[in-house]
Amino acid sequence: MKSEPSFSDILTASANGWSQRDSDEFLLSLAVPIQRVNPLAQLPLLSKGEQFRFLWDEAPELCIAASGECQHLDLAGPRRFELAQRFSENIFGRIQDAIPIAPSQANPRILLSFSFFDQISERKRSFPASSPLQAILPRWQLTTHGFNGWLRLNGVPSNESEVRELVEELWIMRDQLSSSNENEFSISQSSIPGICQSNKWKNCYEKALIQGIDLVNNGVLDKLVLAVRQSILLNAPLDPLLMLGRLRKQQSSSCRFLWQRSEEQAFFGASPERLLVVRNGYLQSDALAGTAMLNDDGQELLKSEKDLREHELVVKSITQQLLNKGLSPHRSRSPRLAKHGQLLHLHTPITAAIQNQQPLSLAKALHPTPAVAGLPRQEAMQWINNLEPFDRGSYAAPLGWIDNCGNAEFRVAIRCGSAVGNRLELTAGAGLVRGSIAEREMQEVGLKLAVLADQLDLIEPNIQLRQFNNRAII
């Protein structure tokens, strides 16, 4: 915009939108520019008095903090992607944007969290997941790209007086955020509760791992991804923002995320894997499979027949799913190395023009990729259900957003944890193909669990540690 809108500008535009409404389902969306704010650090202020909190942190690129619920829809069942798409189209069709010429970073967004399976298994549920899985139009949305930011407020006013109240509320919040002393340094330096008890996840994982390796070695499956869940009892309740503040520095090339339904219940992590990015009519998906151990420069990974074969299975599957949707995907001839914290992965980006396809229809076609499930897809998912003693919930499921211009981004929710009060559960998996070795897969899972576990400040002396590649894994 050429000049920053004044209070009067926004009030006038909002009043005009109210007077021109054509139905009782009027949704008013207000936005104002705000400079030099940090959404991660400002989320506590933005969410004051609100139950729902969301963070999408690719800083210094796109960073979104959101809180509260203006509109929402619970998502479950085999048609959950279609329901989410219909809900998004309905909401965006009802919104009256008082500042329609704001940049794309300020666009109103629907936030979405899906489950890995169509339904969360009540039989296996032993720990509260971040359910219900939902599509949410947040009440507050703070978006930044570099130093430039926009604050947005969504509301459902019932009269002109409430329109003015929304404008005043937006202005007050902008002033509070601009003058706040909250910063990233204070978050990253804060103490995180230490461990007082941790389960021996390896004992639970080894039997399933051996069965999974037998399945791929005997040709029953081409690939199978088996996950393990590590349960940790902390000395005090965990604020996930403290962990995410540290991960911003240690996992800078990943997308740090938070989906928090209440003060005591949160799902969070640092995902290196894009399921789908749609911008200006073009799509990108990441094939990310094959992991190098700590202190590896990746050269062995690039020559590993087993890892290259596993990676190519993922590339071909994503490419075929896009072909099945009528797209013409492009991929690089060979994978490159992608570094995420202490881990190296084989990475092949896959791109295509979306040709008027709906983002959530494409997300449905791609989920789950062989990087988190296996091949053939349906058979692998059945074996996951049989061999994993817990329900995956949101683990390895799509989490992200869609905006009112059809842009969207979904990450595969890996390198993640769920927290309820003093209890933290971390989930990680390994991809099994012909030639997989149980001990090596165990090491890989340990390193993935450590992405979050290493952020905890204290480890009590009664916790047994085992060394893998010069690194302590709980």
pLDDT one-digit tens code per residue, 173-193: 999 999 987 665 566 666 788
Element (H, E) at 308: helix 305-324
User: What are the Cα distances from residue 272, in Å, to 58, 108, 117, 198, 415?
Assistant: 11, 25, 21, 26, 8
Beta strands in 293-439 (DSSP E): 330-331, 336-340, 343-353, 374-375, 398-403, 408-412, 416-420, 423-432
pTM: 0.92
The amino acid at residue 101 is: I
Contact indicator for 435, 462 with CB cutoff of 8 Å: no
Residue type, 257: F
Task: Examine the residue annotation and report whether 306 is marked as an active-site residue of this protein.
Answer: no
Which of the following is catalytic: 273, 310, 388, 444? Answer: 273
pLDDT of the residue at 353: 97
Give the SS3 label for residue 27: strand
The pLDDT tens digits along the chain (474 residues) read: 457 888 898 888 888 888 888 777 789 999 999 988 999 999 999 999 999 999 999 988 999 999 999 999 999 899 999 999 999 999 999 999 887 777 888 999 999 999 999 876 666 655 554 455 799 999 999 999 988 899 999 999 999 999 999 999 999 999 999 998 766 556 666 678 888 777 788 888 999 999 999 999 999 999 999 999 999 999 889 999 999 999 998 888 999 999 999 888 999 999 999 999 999 999 999 998 877 765 667 788 888 888 888 889 999 999 999 999 999 999 988 899 888 877 888 899 999 999 889 999 999 999 999 999 999 999 999 999 999 999 999 999 999 999 999 999 999 999 999 999 999 999 999 999 998 999 999 998 998 998 888 888 644 434 333 333 333 332
Distance between CA atoms of residues 420 and 287, nearest Å? 32
**For residue 293, what pLDDT is reported?**
64
* Residue 38 to residue 34: CA distance in whole angstroms: 10
Alpha-carbon distance values, 115 to 111, 237, 412 (Å): 14, 25, 11
Catalytic residue (one of 58, 223, 388, 441): 223
Is 223 designated active site?
A: yes
**CA-based nearest residue to 329, from 380, 276, 399, 400:** 276
pLDDT tens per residue, range 147-161:
889 999 999 999 999
- Ranges assigned E (strand) in 146-280: 148-155, 195-198, 223-234, 255-262, 265-271, 274-279
Helix, strand or coil, per DSSP, at residue 280 = coil
Residue pair 288/346 in contact (Cβ under 8 Å)? The answer is yes
